[in-house]
Amino acid sequence: MAPGNSAPAPEVGLTRREAMLQLLRLGGAAAGTAAAAVWLSKRSAMPVSATAAYARRDHTVEPDAALPQLVVLQGDDPRALVRQAFADLGGVSRFISRHDVVVLKPNIAWDRTPEQAANTNPDVVAEAVKQCWQAGAKRVIVTDVSCNEAERCFHRSGIAAAARSEGADVILPDPARFRQVNLGGEILQDWQVFEPFLIADKVINLPIAKHHGLTGATLGFKNWYGILGGERNRLHQQIHQSLVDLAAFMLPTLTLMDCYRVLLRNGPTGGNLEDVAVHKTLIAGTDPVAIDAYAAKTYWDLDPDSLPYLKLAEKRGLGQPDLKQVRTRFTQLA
């Protein structure tokens, strides 16, 4: 950069999140003039304000060899399953610190009821919110970028009401709150990301296990599609690499996969209750690759060879698809 054009450094004494936000603002301002010329040459109006800087999000916690990487819990009460998952993995304070801004990412993609198992169980979401508050979180946000009309999805899924009942900020997707970010992927580069995921100190992935016509199953990795705007259907052209690029960009603090009800067929939208099986299970842990591998094998008998993204993710250092090498704990609640 030429002398006189460098951006000022962040102020001394800022928190990590505040410093990142300041850098994003400064970077967006510096890039604005050049970006405007490009956009105006192709469009009649500027898009939402952009932050073109690469900003990989690593929200992971330190590994602990004394604790399981994967826990599988079964019981009648979804909220009790969440509480026990945190306990088995070392306690919620291992994952959430005082004054953290925590974003919970359930699947709220579809205009479906909880019984249809197309969205995350609202009780799982509510208890995750409660646990974050008990750990001292500063703010807890529940959000997703829905496929169907967002307000109906948030309402009919039961997630908006459940999350608000525990004091979470429920944020519906707003076109003005997407930011252009370089995802730094092998095929995914600049893309619109929903702003709450860019300001979070911690991110908890809350997918639901479902069938998917293209990949066989839609699990934790596929749930990251809900952080993006734009033409997401384009990602299906190279879906396995897209999934890995997204997972490498948004590294979660923890994954809590809802398998209380599992959509075994005709996913990801579902609709027919005959396609749903009640398994009363939660799969949780710090290895997102192992979690997807376990669910795929358990409910659809899919090995890692049948899901190329799992092998690609292993090569990128994102986790272990060979479950024999994963520290696992099974818990049956009374």
For residue 140, the surrounding DSSP H or E stretch is: strand 139-143
Q: Tell me what pLDDT residue 304 has.
A: 93
- Tell me the two tokens of residue 331: 């818990």
Q: Tell me what pLDDT residue 43 has.
A: 30
Can you give the residue range of the structural domain that contains 37? 10-50
| Residue 243 domain flag | yes
Q: Tell me what pLDDT residue 234 has.
A: 82
**What mean pLDDT do residues 274-290 have?**
98
Picking from 52-56, 139-143, 293-297, 313-317, which range would have the lowest pLDDT averaged per residue? 52-56
Q: Tell me, yes or no, whether 137 and 255 share the same domain.
A: yes
Q: Tell me, yes or no, whether 25 and 121 share the same domain.
A: no
Q: Tell me, yes or no, whether 161 and 19 share the same domain.
A: no
Q: Tell me, yes or no, whether 46 and 58 share the same domain.
A: no
Domain count, the chain: 2
| Residue 254 domain flag | yes
214 pLDDT band, cuts 50/70/90, is confident
- pLDDT at 6 exceeding the cut of 50: no
- pLDDT at 215 exceeding the cut of 90: no
62 pLDDT band, cuts 50/70/90, is very high
pLDDT in tens, 295-332: 999 999 999 999 999 999 999 999 999 999 999 999 99
pLDDT in tens, 170-193: 999 999 999 999 999 999 999 999
Picking from 41-45, 52-56, 130-134, 204-208, which range would have the lowest pLDDT averaged per residue? 41-45
Decide: 34 and 27 in contact? Cβ < 8 Å.
no
| Residue 1 domain flag | no
Phi and psi dihedrals of 94, rounded to 5? -65, -30
- Tell me the two tokens of residue 90: 């070392």
Q: Tell me, yes or no, whether 293 and 238 share the same domain.
A: yes
Q: Tell me, yes or no, whether 153 and 262 share the same domain.
A: yes
Q: Tell me, yes or no, whether 224 and 286 share the same domain.
A: yes
Q: Tell me, yes or no, whether 31 and 155 share the same domain.
A: no
CA 203 remoteness from chain centre: 7
| % the chain with pLDDT above 90 | 79
Average pLDDT, rounded, for the chain: 87
Left if phi > 0, otherwise alpha if psi is -120 to 50, otherwise beta: which for 167?
left
Picking from 21-30, 161-170, 211-220, 307-316, which range would have the lowest pLDDT averaged per residue? 21-30
CA 154 remoteness from chain centre: 16
Stated pTM of the model? 0.84
| % the chain with pLDDT above 70 | 84
Distance from C-alpha of 119 to C-alpha of 121, rounded to nearest angstrom: 6
Picking from 24-38, 182-196, 241-255, 312-326, which range would have the lowest pLDDT averaged per residue? 24-38
Q: Tell me, yes or no, whether 75 and 129 share the same domain.
A: yes
Q: Tell me what pLDDT residue 55 has.
A: 61
Q: Tell me, yes or no, whether 38 and 63 share the same domain.
A: no
Could you tell me where the beta strands, DSSP code E, fall in 185-275?
Answer: 190-194, 202-206, 208-212, 216-218, 250-251, 254-263
276 pLDDT band, cuts 50/70/90, is very high
113 pLDDT band, cuts 50/70/90, is very high
CA 241 remoteness from chain centre: 17
3-state secondary structure 256-267: EEEEEEEECCCC
- pLDDT at 263 exceeding the cut of 50: yes
**What mean pLDDT do residues 197-226 have?**
96
| Residue 3 domain flag | no
Calculated CA dihedral for residues 149, 212, 261, 222, nearest 10 degrees = -70
- Tell me the two tokens of residue 230: 């734009």
What letter does residue 287 receive in the DSSP assignment? Answer: -
| Residue 2 domain flag | no
209-to-92, 140, 260, 283 alpha-carbon distances in Å: 23, 24, 9, 10
Q: Tell me, yes or no, whether 210 and 309 share the same domain.
A: yes
Nearby residues of 294 by Cβ (< 8 Å), 6 or more positions away? 70, 72, 283, 323, 328
**What mean pLDDT do residues 194-217 have?**
95
Q: Tell me, yes or no, whether 184 and 242 share the same domain.
A: yes
Q: In the chain, which residue ranges form alpha helices assigned H by DSSP?
A: 16-42, 78-88, 122-134, 150-156, 159-165, 196-199, 239-249, 288-300, 308-315
CATH code at 233? 3.40.50.11440
**What mean pLDDT do residues 275-287 have?**
98
- pLDDT at 78 exceeding the cut of 70: yes
Phi and psi dihedrals of 56, rounded to 5? -60, 140
Q: How many other C-beta atoms are found inside a 10 Å radius of the C-beta of residue 22?
A: 16
Q: Tell me what pLDDT residue 56 has.
A: 73
Decide which of 1 and 294 is more confident: 294
